Structure 1
């Protein structure tokens, strides 16, 4: 297809042309919807100082638990703070912490999963036992144990996320790496003398990467819920710093009389998680289609 015909299709506003653009970009409807929703949420929390002039920590005892109105679009909390400002600025904290936890868990899980597939026998057994122990240990009990020993903080919360998420990543990476290791191209690399490290990094890892992209989206959604859970239990982001789980914790005592205090931050969590799940599903469908094309070829 020439560039002229491509731009002609882009200029056309017909539904058929738009579907053609999505097909060329390999965007499924779920992936496109998830990306648009996540972009909107990311733009909103990034532009928080523009969208609201209110200070998220400014107390106003004359405007306690005001319902949503023109002056306070999301209403106010139990000490008169603007809820829209707290949800937007709290979204920055929640997304930053969830992103850091996702990156840490993916990195640790990928390293240990590849070590399980290509390491020496003793190391493989050690990694297997570590995965089994981690998956068998409830993460809430782990969080309680750690936060009982050290003061809750953002670094501690990120550490808890990494410890809660790495084992699932390691299992997926291990399974894919072991499957790829039995294929002819890996055996050919071994025959010509390539080291295990080179095979793992330059031959097998590219095959693992598409699944890691799916895991990244799913893990971020799980980390957002995890942060909200720990903050709701008082073991996450500490007041007065706003986070979505912390805002829900502050409003739980008024859930029957001031619905907006828990409903609106909960809605933010739900929509963000939904966007990430849609992205994950879309990436998974895209990966399956690409693998089907490769097998047909």
Structure 2
């Protein structure tokens, strides 16, 4: 049996109890189901939204929730519900793409640092420690201010703030896995370091990285909303949840719906991601599984 077969068989055995634990976890169903609905709503926003999110109706400005405008209108007479649905697309896209970018870059750096070791590991982890020394929001604010406000720059800014956690999470298990027998077998067969990292080490640490990704996507959505609130997010008139809160803040006492509904949307999304991330972590942790 080759080392690849050994690795694949070990992963099959490992995945079975994880899937079983997830199926038995009601919180996993709650978080995953809620997130699935939010994603569907974002995808089909053009079909679901009752109005054009950019259409202005001055005669209906600051209208409270009614039969015509279920969640009311903003100071320009735009339908809050329609903007909320379209804003989900921006918030989820930025959250997913920034975390995916951070996951690829950070995990690659962590795996290389753990596998190569020595001076390279010290340099990489030193840079990681520097990134971790900055609060996430403050670092994202500085990078977004330097790059400018745009969809792409916001993804880059948030991704940079989240590279360090992925590098740390990927490094530790890489150090442990590289000493296992099937990795030694791969080296004896003359496999390149990149092939060993991609075929033998990555599948064994991927579950840990995915758990961190689900948790940090919630942080990415919060960061995007915070940056949008202070004017460093995607610029108006594009609808974003953080931007909607910022636009409605001046009228919070007379038009509460402008702030409450986008805030609730952020709360539900972040809560669903945290619940799903905790369920994944509990399912992967063998100590937790044995106690269920």
Which TM-score bucket, shorter chain as reference? Answer: 0.7 to 0.9
Structure 2: unaligned runs, 5 residues or longer: 1-18
Query: How far off its partner does 1:133 sit?
Result: 0.8
Equivalence for 2:247: 250
Mapped pair 1:104 → 2:101 = yes
Equivalence for 2:11:
none
Using the TM superposition, give the Cα deviation of residue 222 of structure 1 relative to its aligned residue in structure 2, in angstroms. Answer: 1.1
Per-residue deviation, 1:216: 2.0
Task: Report what 1:127 is aligned to.
Answer: 124
Partner of 2:158: 161
Taking the TM superposition and a 5 Å limit, the aligned residue runs for 1:69-148 are: 69-148=66-145
Are the counterparts in 1 of residues 111 and 171 from structure 2 also a CA contact under 8 Å? yes
Q: Judge conservation of contact 1:214–1:283 (CA < 8 Å) in 2.
A: yes
CA RMSD of aligned residues (A): 2.2
Structure 1 residues 146 and 278, CA gap change in structure 2 (3 angstroms): closer
Partner of 1:207: 204
Matched, 1:224 2:240: no
How far apart in 1 are the matches of 2:121 and 2:178?
Answer: 15
Gaps spanning 5+ residues in structure 1: where?
1-21
CA contact (8 A) 1:26 1:286 kept: no
Give the Cα separation in 2 of the matches to 1:41 and 1:140. Answer: 25
**1:188: Cα distance to partner?**
4.5
Alignment partner of 2:142: what SS? Answer: helix
Matches within 5 A, 1:282-293: 282-289=279-286
- How many residues get paired? 272
Mean alpha-carbon deviation: is it higher for 76-85 or for 283-292? Answer: 283-292
State which drifts further: 274-283 or 191-200: 191-200
2:183 maps to what in 1?
186
Q: Secondary structure at the match of 1:170?
A: helix
Secondary structure, aligned partner of 2:60: coil
TM-score (norm 2): 0.86
Mapped to 2, the partners of 1:266 and 1:143 lie a distance apart of: 20
Determine the structure 2 residue equivalent to 1:177.
174
The answer on whether the counterparts of 1:65 and 1:79 sit within 8 Å (CA) in structure 2 is yes
Q: 1:131 to 1:243 in 2, by over 3 A?
A: same
2:92–2:221 CA contact under 8 A, matched in 1: yes
Shift, 1:207, TM fit: 1.1
CA contact (8 A) 2:69 2:79 kept: yes
Deviations 1:225-245 (A, max 9, x none): 111011011111110001011
Whole-angstrom CA distance in 2 between matches of 1:285 and 1:120 = 30
1:46 alignment counterpart: 43
